[in-house]
Amino acid sequence: MAGSLLHVVDSLRETVTDAVFALSSCMCRQSATIKVNGRSFVVKRVLGEGGFSFVYLVEDATSGRLFALKKIRCPTGEDGVREAMREVEAYRRFRHPNIIRILDSAIVQDHDEGKIVYLFLPFYQRGNLQDAITSHSLAGTHFGELELAQLFRGTCLAVRAMHAYRAPARTSDQTSGGASPRRPSPAPARGDESDDHNAALLPQADHGDDSDDEQGGGYSYSSQPLRSAPSRNRDPVGDESRLVFDGDAELGQIETQAGDQGVPEGQGVVVPYAHRDIKPANIMYADDGVTPILMDFGSTIRARIAIEDRSQALIQQDLAAEQSTMPYRAPELFDVKTGTTLTEAVDIWSLGCTLFALAYGHSPFETTQTMEQGGSMAMAVMGGKYKHPPESAGRWSAGLIGLIDACLKVDPNERPDIHQLIAMTDKVIAGLQ
């Protein structure tokens, strides 16, 4: 009993420490330093927070490079670690110019049985689309329609990499039944635009051979592919940040053991995944100022889930309530029905809400009635009750308004799939050029 109480106290203390740093990061205060994988990082400021996670802007004390460091607390031990590692695997699985790349990851021992997962991600200095929406609102301006449509198309391309993901073909060992099953390497999922924008953000190995990268091996912030970086180059770490598992190194080892070199175009089974939390705050601006980068894969899940009983329905409903932002959440996730199948169409709804927010500064369901007058946002979403602001009449073409309306169909079967949505967006863009 006493041990359990101490564990709770330790967890609360660490949570308060993060919160205090978040508050004090805006004040004059000497920056904190953390040590992960034997390297020291200076924490510059808090970029975001939510649930058990904080995202910090950190600077490598040796190279001066900036990173976004996501810190995920796992007070439940291994169960929490497995949950966090699913996010790491999602970053590794989907390879596309419009999807953020993970640079490195590690798990360190926290107090008692708890652990902390660190994810090192590129830092995009231009911020996210929600930042841009806020800036436009403050300045009384808005996106240009062509710019808006192109941002939307780039985001759709990222989503297509998830919805059209092809699982690697099984190896002979997996199908023979004579050996224990091995996990296959995720095949890169790419759209038509095959030049990887994020490759410019990744450290390049001196030998110039990026074969490790293409086969799924990650790059660490030490500027060497993880599988080729000798462990002796990592300095001993202090007790406060003891390395117990290097996530990318482990994933690389699994992929090497699987021996899969990727699946050629047209092979492998299509296994759609859903992001389930698409919103402007989860879409970054690349440093070129025009390319959207989809991020935050903590809610990613296999898209098609058959709901066979009430218990399954409640599990999915609770999961969506925890992981999917309400103003962008699809209606079928608010009240999951027995006998239905959840699909990747939930992302199409979120894309429609995102496009609406880019056009009008807020989601379709963040209205005066739902935000200030006690109205039910859930009821508004499930009823598909939204309006294009009359004060913005004439600002956008009928084609762009049609994109929004096509996505925001309460019946998921009436929404376009991602391929159809991209084709519709291309038509709008062609009409604007």
Choose between 8 and 407: higher pLDDT.
407
pLDDT bucket at 113, cuts 50 / 70 / 90: low
pLDDT for res 221: 31
pLDDT bucket at 388, cuts 50 / 70 / 90: very high
pLDDT for res 136: 96
Distance CA 171, CA 182 (A): 9
- 333 and 424 in a single domain? The answer is yes
pLDDT for res 280: 98
Choose between 173 and 339: higher pLDDT.
339
- 205 and 319 in a single domain? The answer is no
pLDDT for res 389: 92
pLDDT bucket at 373, cuts 50 / 70 / 90: low
- Boundary-marking domain end, from 226, 250, 265: 265
- 315 and 356 in a single domain? The answer is yes
- 298 and 197 in a single domain? The answer is no
Distance CA 241, CA 61 (A): 16
pLDDT for res 72: 87
pLDDT bucket at 371, cuts 50 / 70 / 90: low
pLDDT at 19 over 70: no
Q: Which CATH number does the domain housing residue 314 bear?
A: 1.10.510.10
Residue 44 resides in a domain: yes
Tens of pLDDT, residue by residue over 123-149, are: 999 999 999 999 999 999 999 999 999
Distance CA 321, CA 330 (A): 11
Distance CA 425, CA 21 (A): 43
pLDDT for res 424: 98
pLDDT at 332 over 90: yes
Domain range for 404: 129-165+267-432
pLDDT for res 268: 78
Q: What is the mean pLDDT of residues 386-394?
A: 90
Residue 372 resides in a domain: yes
* Half-sphere exposure of residue 140: CA atoms within 13 angstroms, side-chain side: 0
- 106 and 47 in a single domain? The answer is yes
pLDDT at 188 over 90: no
Q: What is the mean pLDDT of residues 388-404?
A: 93
Residue 175 resides in a domain: no
- 71 and 206 in a single domain? The answer is yes
% pLDDT > 70, the chain = 67
pLDDT for res 86: 87
Distance CA 179, CA 176 (A): 7
- 114 and 235 in a single domain? The answer is yes
Residue 170 resides in a domain: no
% pLDDT > 90, the chain = 50
pTM over 0.75: no
70 appears as a binding residue in the annotation: yes
Tens of pLDDT, residue by residue over 253-297, are: 434 443 333 444 446 789 999 999 999 999 999 999 999 999 999
Q: Which CATH number does the domain housing residue 255 bear?
A: 3.30.200.20
Place of tokens 């198309």: 153
pLDDT bucket at 245, cuts 50 / 70 / 90: very low
- 116 and 79 in a single domain? The answer is yes
pLDDT bucket at 407, cuts 50 / 70 / 90: very high
Residue 159 resides in a domain: yes
Q: What b/e string do you get for 180-199 counting C-beta neighbours within 10 Å, with b at 16 or more?
A: eeeebbbbbbbbeeeebbbe
Tens of pLDDT, residue by residue over 68-112, are: 999 988 877 677 788 888 889 999 999 999 999 999 888 887 766
pLDDT for res 244: 39
Name the DSSP class of 241. Answer: G
pLDDT at 345 over 60: yes
Q: How many domains does the chain have?
A: 2
What token pair was written down for 23?
Answer: 């508050």
pLDDT at 364 over 90: yes
Q: Convert 266-304 into a string of H (helix), E (strand) and C (coil).
A: CCCCECCEECCCCCHHHEEECCCCCCEEECCCCCCEECC
